[in-house]
Structure 1
Amino acid sequence: MDREHISKDKTILLRQKYIGPSCKLFFKSDPIKIVRASGQYMFSETGERYLDCINNVAHVGHCHPKVVEAGNKQAALLNTNSRFLHDNLVLYAERLAALFPDPLKVLFMVNSGSEANDLALRLAQAHTKQKDVIVLDHAYHGHVMSLIDISPYKFNHLGPDAKPDWVHVASVPDRYRGKYRDTEHSLDELSTLYAQDVEDQIQNIRSSGKGISCFISESLQSCGGQIITPPGYLREVYKHVRNSGGLCIADEVQVGFGRVGSHWWAFQLAGEDVVPDIVTIGKPMGNGHPVAAVVTTYEIAKSFAGLGVEYFNTYGGNPVSCAIANAVIDVIETENLRENATKVGNYLLSRFTILMTKYQLIGDVRGVGMFIGIELVKDRSTKEPATAEAKHAITRAKQEKVLLSVDGPNENVIKFKPPMVFSLEDADHLVNILDRIFGEIDDSRQVEKLTEKELIKRINGASMS
C-alpha cells in the first residue's frame, strides 16, 4: 500500500475498522483530512488552507522550524530512558522553575496533562494523608480513571452514581450563567460568594469526620465554556482550603505558557500573592510533542518521597522531549508571543463586543489573551442556550475554511484558543466570517421563522456539503 496516497474515503474506512469508536473527530459528519500545517494554518489533502482557531497544542505555530530542528538534532544524537543522567533534563528544569514563583521549584516530568494531574492527586494524598477532593462543576482534568472520577464534564454524563463519594463538587464561578451573576453582584461579591461555596464543601467533608486532600481547578475553565474566574476568587478559595489542611492545585494544561498574555500562568491573574501548592502543565509545552510536568514545592516532593516507593517515568523528561520543550520557551520569548497574545486578544475582544451590539444571538463575550469564548443564546433575558445555532456557526465557518469548536455544558460557547502566532489580519478575517454567519442565522430566524427542528435539519444538510 502506498501510504502517502490514501484517499480520504480510504482513511475513513481504515479508521472505522481499526480505531475505537469512542475516539471522536472534529466535524465528525464530514471530517477534514489534514496532511500538513504551518504556523496558524492547516492544509487538507486537496490543498485547501484552513485558519486554525482550535489548536492550543501547536502553541508557537504548527511545525515551527526551531522546534522541529531542536527535536531532530537531539533525536539524531540520543534519546533514551529518563533514568540516565542527562543535561537536557536538569537545564530545562532549571529554566522552567525560574518561570514560577517561590516556592514552586521542584519538577516531575511526565508525558501528558492527564498523567500530570494523576500525579498531582498522588502528591496531595501523600502530603495530607487524606483523599477527599473538591472540584468545580463542569471541570475536565483528563482521561485516565482517576481524573474521570474528578471531572464533572465527564461523569455528569455517566449517571447519578458516577461521582465517587470522596469527590465534592463546588459551583463553577461563572459570572454570566452561574449560581451568582455579575448582573446582581460586584466582582468582589462574586469572588466571596463562589469561594463560600467551596468553604461549604469543606465543612461538609469535616462534618463527616474526614479531611480534605486538595482543591483542584483549571485556572481558567476551558471545556466548561471558557470561564473567566472573578479576580479575587482563587485568593479566597486557597485561604479556605489551606485553613482546612488541604492543598491547592492549579491545572494549567490548557491555559499555561503565556496564553493569557500578561503572565506565563493563568493563576497569576489573581495576584502575586496567589500561589498554588502544585501546578500541572502539558498541551502547549511541547508544541504537539507529548511532554508535560508537575511543578510543586520541596516540602510536598519530600512527603511523596517519604512513601518509600520510588517514582520513575520511562519517557518523561527524555532528552528529545526536553530539547523540544526548551525550544518552545525560546520561541515564546524571542518572538514575543505573550505580547502578541495580549495585542491580538484585546483586539478580538473589542471586535467581538461590537458584534454583540449587532446580534442579539451573542449573549456574552469573555476572555483574556488568546483564550476567548462567545456564548450564544436564543434570548438574552432568559439566557436560553442557542446550541443548534452554535453548532451551525462552526459548521459554516468550516465551509469558509476557518476551524472553530463549541463547548460548555450546553454546547453553545464558541471557543477561540489558536496558536499564539495568530495575527491581527487573521483576527479580522475570523470576525468578518463570523459576522456573515451570525447575519445568516439572524436572517433565517427573522424571515423564515425557523423552528429548532428545522434549523437542526438545515445544519445537518450544511454539514454534509
Structure 2
Amino acid sequence: MSEQFSPTAGMQNGFDLALLPTLTPHEQAVVERRQRLLGPSYKLMYQHPVEFVRAEGVYMYGPNGEQYLDCYNNVPSVGHCHPRVVEAVSKQLATLNTHTRYMDEKILNYTEQLVETFGGGIGNVMYTCTGSEAVDLALRIAKFNTGGTGIIVTDYAYHGITTTVAAISTTMGKYVPVDQHVRTVRAPYAYHAEPGLDLGERLAADIEAAVADMQRHGIKFAGFIADSIFSTDGLLPDPTGFLQKAIEVVHKHGGVYIADEVQPGFARTGRNFWGYQRHGIQPDIVVMGKPMGNGLPIAGVAAKPQLLADFGPKVRYFNTFGGNAVCISAAQAVLDVIRDEGLQENCHQVGNYLLDGFKSIAKQYPSIGDVRGAGLYFAVEFVTDPQSKAPDQDLTTKVVGGLRERKVLISTTGPHENSLKIRPLLCFQKAHADQLLETFADTMAAVTAGKA
C-alpha cells in the first residue's frame, strides 16, 4: 500500500487495513462498508477496532453488552449521556432552536458565567461549532489586530482541520505543508531536557529567535498559540509557570497570545478551570471546544474586548449554528454539572490518586521512562532503556492494544507515539481509578512477558 493512502497516516493508534483478515467476519464487513461509503479519510482506532452501541457514565458498551471503561474521550467529559445534559438538550430541542440573530437571554446568561471563569481581562465570547473553527477565528482576530501574518507554534502541535489551522498544525504530515509564515519552537519537554535547564527561559528564547527570523524574511509577527498542556507534543504539564516568560516575549514584540484550551479546559487539569491558569498567565484570546457541550457541537473564542472593538464592526463574522439555543443549553448544563457535582475538585483528588498509582507501577518497569500528568490527564512514556531514553513505540502499541482487549480505552501521544494518552472522564471515581490501575498492571505484566 502506497504511503499516501496509508490508513493510519496522520493519526496515532490507528487501525491498519492490512490487519483486516485478523478480524471477525462481522468486523470485516463493517470495516469494508466504512471504506466503501465513507472513504479512506475516516480512520478507526486500535489494531483491533471496537464497536459501541450505547454508553452511560464512564462506560461504553458493545453490541453484545461488553462493558468498556472509557479513559480516553474528552468530549462527554462530565459523563456519557449525563441525565442533566440530556434533559436540557431534549427540552430545548422541543421548544426552540434557531440562529443567534434574535434576542435570547440563555446565551447571555451562559456567557456571563463563562466569562467569570477566566478571572479577569477576558470579556467577550464568540461562538462556533468546533474547536477548529474557533482557532481559525482566533487567528483572524490576531492577524487583524497586529497587521501581521506570522504565527509561532510548538514543533508537534495540532490545532484543527480548516485550511488555515491545518497549516499551523505541525502534526499533519508532509502532505499538509506548514504555512510559510509559520515558525516552530521546541515544546517544553522536561523529561528530555538537560539537567538544570530552565524550560521557560528556553521557550522564551526560542520565540525571540522565531520572531527575529520572521523579521529577516519580511514577515510581521501576529501571535503565538499553544495548547496549555501540550497534549499532542506528549502531554507536558510541568513545571508550572513556564509559560510566564513566553507570554512576556509575545507581548514585547506586539503579538497576541492564544491559549488553546480545547483539551485542558473545563476543569480537566484539576486545581484550575483552565490549563493556562496553572501557569499564572492571562492570555489575550482563549479558544475552547470539545468538552464544552458534552458531545453537542459548540465551541468558542473568548477575547479581551479591545481585540474585538475594531474587529467586530469591520470584519464580517456569522456562524449559523454557533451558539444556537440547543447547544447553549448543553453548555449550560455542563457548566452546572461541573460546579454542582464538584467535578473540578474530584478531578484533582482522583487525578492525584491515579498519578501516584501509575508512578508506583512504573517503578517495576525500566521501560517506563516517565509518568506525568495534571488533574485527569496523564502520559506514560515508554523507552528502550532509561539511559538513552530512546522511544519504544512498539511496546506502547502493545500496551494500548492489551488494554483495549481488557476493555479499557486509552490512546497514544507524542511525536514518536511512545507515550500513553490517558484522559478519563471528569466523573471518574476511585473505584474506576482502581479498575484502570489494576488493568494497566495486568497488561504490563502480560506484555513484558510476551503474552499480549
Letter in 1 for 2:37: Y
- Alpha-carbon shift at residue 302 of structure 1 (Å): 1.3
- Alpha-carbon shift at residue 388 of structure 1 (Å): 0.7
1:302 aligned residue (305, 309, 316): 309
- Which residue is 2:260 aligned to? 251
- Which residue is 1:285 aligned to? 292
1:33 matches 2:51: yes
Does the residue aligned with 1:434 lie in a helix, a strand or coil? helix
Asked if structure 1 preserves the Cα contact closer than 8 Å seen for 2:380 and 2:420, the reply is yes
Asked if structure 2 preserves the Cα contact closer than 8 Å seen for 1:173 and 1:230, the reply is no
- Which residue is 1:429 aligned to? 435
1:169 matches 2:176: no
- Alpha-carbon shift at residue 101 of structure 1 (Å): 2.1
Letter in 1 for 2:164: S
- Which residue is 1:338 aligned to? 344
Structure 1 unmatched ranges of 5 or more: 1-6, 445-457
Asked if structure 1 preserves the Cα contact closer than 8 Å seen for 2:231 and 2:263, the reply is yes
Asked if structure 2 preserves the Cα contact closer than 8 Å seen for 1:83 and 1:314, the reply is no
**Separation of aligned partners in 2, 1:175 and 1:77:** 51
Letter in 2 for 1:134: I
Percent of aligned pairs sharing the same letter: 39
TM normalised by structure 1 equals: 0.89
- Which residue is 2:121 aligned to? 103
- Which residue is 2:40 aligned to? 21
**Separation of aligned partners in 2, 1:9 and 1:193:** 49
Letter in 2 for 1:374: V
Does the residue aligned with 1:363 lie in a helix, a strand or coil? strand
- Alpha-carbon shift at residue 153 of structure 1 (Å): 1.2
Root mean square deviation of aligned Cα? 1.5
- Which residue is 1:138 aligned to? 156
- Which residue is 1:196 aligned to? 205
Asked if structure 1 preserves the Cα contact closer than 8 Å seen for 2:225 and 2:258, the reply is yes
**Separation of aligned partners in 1, 2:38 and 2:367:** 38
TM normalised by structure 2 equals: 0.92
1:158 aligned residue (169, 175, 194): 175
Asked if structure 1 preserves the Cα contact closer than 8 Å seen for 2:59 and 2:80, the reply is yes
- Alpha-carbon shift at residue 414 of structure 1 (Å): 0.4
Moved more, 49-58 or 296-305: 296-305
**Separation of aligned partners in 2, 1:232 and 1:12:** 46
**Separation of aligned partners in 1, 2:179 and 2:298:** 29
1:393 matches 2:404: no
- Which residue is 2:233 aligned to? 224
**Separation of aligned partners in 2, 1:363 and 1:402:** 22
- Alpha-carbon shift at residue 8 of structure 1 (Å): 5.2
**Separation of aligned partners in 2, 1:438 and 1:342:** 26
Asked if structure 2 preserves the Cα contact closer than 8 Å seen for 1:219 and 1:267, the reply is yes
1:94 matches 2:112: yes
Asked if structure 2 preserves the Cα contact closer than 8 Å seen for 1:82 and 1:318, the reply is yes
Residues 362-400 of structure 1 show CA distances to partners (whole Å, capped at 9, x for unaligned) of 000001100110001110101111101111111111111
1:316 matches 2:322: yes
- Alpha-carbon shift at residue 411 of structure 1 (Å): 0.7
Letter in 2 for 1:239: E
- Which residue is 2:223 aligned to? 214
**Separation of aligned partners in 2, 1:36 and 1:8:** 18
**Separation of aligned partners in 2, 1:64 and 1:232:** 34
- Alpha-carbon shift at residue 430 of structure 1 (Å): 1.1
1:329 matches 2:335: yes
- Which residue is 2:86 aligned to? 68
Letter in 2 for 1:12: V
Structure 2 unmatched ranges of 5 or more: 1-25
- Alpha-carbon shift at residue 432 of structure 1 (Å): 1.3
**Separation of aligned partners in 1, 2:446 and 2:305:** 57
- Which residue is 1:350 aligned to? 356
1:378 matches 2:384: yes
Residues 71-111 of structure 1 show CA distances to partners (whole Å, capped at 9, x for unaligned) of 00000000012222212211111111111122101000100
Asked if structure 2 preserves the Cα contact closer than 8 Å seen for 1:174 and 1:228, the reply is no
- Which residue is 1:185 aligned to? 196
Letter in 2 for 1:282: G
**Separation of aligned partners in 2, 1:351 and 1:110:** 38
- Which residue is 1:448 aligned to? none
- Which residue is 1:418 aligned to? 424
Does the residue aligned with 2:363 lie in a helix, a strand or coil? helix
Residues 289-343 of structure 1 show CA distances to partners (whole Å, capped at 9, x for unaligned) of 110000001110113124x232111000111010110000010001100111111
Residues 174-222 of structure 1 show CA distances to partners (whole Å, capped at 9, x for unaligned) of 1112xx34xx115xx2211222111111122223333210000000111
**Separation of aligned partners in 1, 2:359 and 2:312:** 50
Report the count of equivalent residues: 427
**Separation of aligned partners in 1, 2:153 and 2:31:** 38
**Separation of aligned partners in 2, 1:33 and 1:436:** 23
Letter in 1 for 2:40: P
1:7-18 to 2 correspondence within 5 Å? Answer: 10-18=29-37
- Which residue is 1:454 aligned to? none
**Separation of aligned partners in 2, 1:197 and 1:185:** 17
Letter in 1 for 2:375: G
Does the residue aligned with 1:293 lie in a helix, a strand or coil? strand
2:62 aligned residue (30, 44, 63): 44
Asked if structure 2 preserves the Cα contact closer than 8 Å seen for 1:346 and 1:369, the reply is yes
Residues 125-169 of structure 1 show CA distances to partners (whole Å, capped at 9, x for unaligned) of 1111111001111010001111111011114x438xx22220000
